[in-house]
Structure 1
Amino acid sequence: MTFFQSKGLQAPDGFDWASEGRGTALVASIESLLSDLTDRQQDALKAELDHLASLANSNGLLSAEQICAGQSIDLEGLEGVEDVLLLLAIQYPHLLDRVSAQASLMQRTGGKQWSAFQFEDDGKPWAISSTAAREGFLNEAIAILELPTHRKREADWFKVIRLHPITGEEIEILQATIYVEERAESELAFGPSDTLERQIVPKVLEVGLACNAQDRVIEICAKGGKEVRDQYAKAFAKHFAPESETPVETPRRDVLLDKLRSAPKFDIEPADGIERIEVSALDFFATGGGFSRFERRGDGETLYQFLERRFGTASPLKASGWQIVSATIRIVIAARDSKRRKTLTVTLRTPNTTTLPNKTETDRQFVFDLLERWQLIAPPPKDEFVLEDV
């Protein structure tokens, strides 16, 4: 009712808002309510309702919750996604485009048109709040798209709050949706004289960016294939993290940390050239709240031996109510072929963060193959979810 009142429509006394479903008395009553509007007004209002209906799903609700949390908008007391969307349509209509963009990013996460990039945890600052850095990144995005400089463009920067699925920890994400005027298309439409005319219809191209400064991960959603998204990642590093190395693309694969609840027997082959492997750190989360982190103490004792000696059956590896949320593994490669011994370190964090070594592509693929062999990451998604549009 409030939604229609915001559009200047007043429902008559006794209007039944309780009916549900298509073809009900409610639908007929709403059609009657709209009948006093002009055809253009009816089309505009129905198009808005159709847009809200397209967001009335689990992704739409989660997107709205994340964006509203980032804007400190209280949704307490609202019942379901419809109430949330109607609230936004009435009081915060400018946020609906953000909800739509976020829902689209969420739907495409892990599939085609999406890539995630992991920066090294080098402690060097990011300039994500810099106006100059944002403007420079936007200009470079236009260059990557190879569009004429006169094309209109706009970048919407906003904050969302994601919740960790296990710990419930709030993770602040800076997101940007870049809107660019794409090449217009010619379509048939009825013109002012009610006759068919060929009209030029402007089109908008979108590029999505999500920046997790805490884990130093950026997600990029854009058409054009992997090479294009690599260029966006380099542009991000250039403008927002100029002191850091170019980030590494990291496949989104769920990590399987329960396999580390007991001392693992890592399957290695002579060709691997591995001198030793150790779990050097484990992070735990306790049901009901609370974190604990344990690191390997020294050469004479493994982390598992230390936890057994120090805590026995009360160890978080054995006691109920503890979950492993992060693990760091050190892989020591023996010296050979005139090459020095080296150590490759990888950290796995729930639900799907893998900090592969940011050294060479050979090292990264080597470690990734080991994680698959040791079943510490889930199998890749089916082919239909990773086919790339170029």
Structure 2
Amino acid sequence: MASYSGFLRKAPASRLKPFFDARNVDVPEDFDWESSGRGKAFVRAIDDLLGELPDRRQDELKAELDLLASIADAEGMIAAERICAGQGIDIEGLEGVQDVLLMLALSHPQIVDRVAAETSLMRRSGGKGWASFQLEDDGKPWALHDDAARDAFLRDVLEILNVASHRRNEADWFRSIRTNPITGEEAEITQATIYVEDRAESELAFGPSATLERHLVQKVVEVGLACNPQARIVEVAARGGKKVRDQCAASFAKHFTPQSAVPIQMPRRAVLLDTLRAAPDFTIEPADGISRVEVSSLDFFSTGGEFARFEKRGEDETIYQFLERRFGSMSPLRSGGWTIVAATLRIFLEPRDGKRARTLTVTLRTPNSTTVPNKTETDRQFVFGLLERWHLVAPPRKDLDLIEDVD
């Protein structure tokens, strides 16, 4: 966990003073909140103030500062923006992530836990303990706000995790707003963090008599859920392996969108669409069984906020030839200010093993969306191998552990 010393140095004095006042820290009237340019002397002065508190209170306040420091980075700021936008909390004009987190700690303490959960989910997106699932678009709304569905889903999660009936649990449902970093489009996300009381652990600690004693520490396990009804995507963060996450996704579909088919896990990789700015050389090997590959559509977004979509219609020219013939140097592929935000590929497979020729259609969207998971597992592995070879998706991330257990 990050040290809170750097957090204190960067936090605005106008927020630090009321933070410590609200926590009944006795601060002298002449305390210099801008001391020594916020160097080591300033941190030592704060530590001296904390050292005057009773031991238990001192530990609690330092733990709170450590938590704030652990999420005071770029990802924590994005998480705060998402959560605050979903909760209608205005953070416009605040002086950076330290100012935002201190404001939340003062005025919206529950939101800090949500920001911490969202930050953890972001950091683990694409890694071990995390999975994203695509549900079919059947045109029917999800019952995300149905209390009965939420209760039933919680019961299923407890059963999936094999939680004993006497263990305490709590589900925190909330709304956040995610913004596409290129187009600025907003998507409303319904999130849940399920807190489950885990088995207690025995640890050594000093007791009232100043001697080492063995204490039981009650642990809590978190399960994270993020639902995007527009894209029909559900993200699950849960320890216990692929089976646990698959079962959580299946339970979600059963209770919130019973009309849909079983959700399909979708790998999450950064999409590298700049590769398609020039007509690509799709390297094909004989073992692939591919007759040809074409880019059948390109979507563009301009710095002025305009969208443009071009689709290949005729068989006599590629989409690149069309854009060059029609627009020349003014083509969005050549002129400045245009970014490729989506592309569709068609992969034409040769007849094989007595089967007819078929076509795999794959759509890629920034920053990390792909329709590859809508294929069979064999097709998904095959297509992702091709996309990596063609430098259209980033390499897979190294495995990461799930959201940490917390006391």
Q: Same fold (TM over 0.5)?
A: yes
CA distance in 2, matches of 1:97, 1:351: 26
Unaligned residue ranges in structure 2 (runs of 5+): 1-16, 403-407
Distance 1:378 1:197, change over 3 A: closer
Distance 1:63 1:87, change over 3 A: same
Q: Does the CA contact (< 8 Å) of 2:347 and 2:361 recur in 1?
A: yes
Distance 1:41 1:268, change over 3 A: closer
Distance 1:46 1:269, change over 3 A: closer
Amino acid in structure 1 at the alignment position of 2:72:
A
Name the structure 1 match of 2:14.
none
Instruction: State the identity %.
Output: 63
Q: Does the CA contact (< 8 Å) of 2:175 and 2:188 recur in 1?
A: yes
Distance 1:164 1:186, change over 3 A: same
Unaligned residue ranges in structure 1 (runs of 5+): none
Where in structure 2 are the equivalents of 1:1-390 lying within 5 Å?
Answer: 1-9=17-25, 11-19=27-35, 20-21=37-38, 23-24=40-41, 26-31=42-47, 33-34=49-50, 37-191=53-207, 196-381=212-397, 385-386=398-399
CA distance in 2, matches of 1:22, 1:308: 58
TM-score by length of 2: 0.86
Distance 1:45 1:272, change over 3 A: closer
- Aligned to 2:375, the other structure's residue is in SS state coil
CA distance in 1, matches of 2:49, 2:95: 25
CA distance in 1, matches of 2:89, 2:163: 37
Amino acid in structure 2 at the alignment position of 1:200:
L
| Per-residue Cα deviation, 1:44-103 (whole angstroms, up to 9, x for no partner) | 223222322222222222222221122121112221222111101111111111111112
CA distance in 1, matches of 2:73, 2:113: 16
Please, which moves more after superposition, 90-99 or 358-367?
358-367
Please, which moves more after superposition, 303-312 or 350-359?
303-312
- Aligned to 1:183, the other structure's residue is in SS state coil
Distance 1:336 1:375, change over 3 A: same
Aligned length: 385
- Aligned to 1:13, the other structure's residue is in SS state coil
**Cα distance, 1:9 vs structure 2:** 4.2
CA distance in 2, matches of 1:234, 1:248: 9
Q: Does the CA contact (< 8 Å) of 1:225 and 1:388 recur in 2?
A: no
TM-score by length of 1: 0.89
Q: Does the CA contact (< 8 Å) of 1:284 and 1:323 recur in 2?
A: yes
CA distance in 1, matches of 2:25, 2:343: 58
**Cα distance, 1:190 vs structure 2:** 4.2
Root-mean-square deviation (Å): 2.5
CA distance in 1, matches of 2:28, 2:401: 53
Q: Does the CA contact (< 8 Å) of 2:138 and 2:259 recur in 1?
A: no
- Aligned to 2:339, the other structure's residue is in SS state strand
Distance 1:265 1:124, change over 3 A: farther
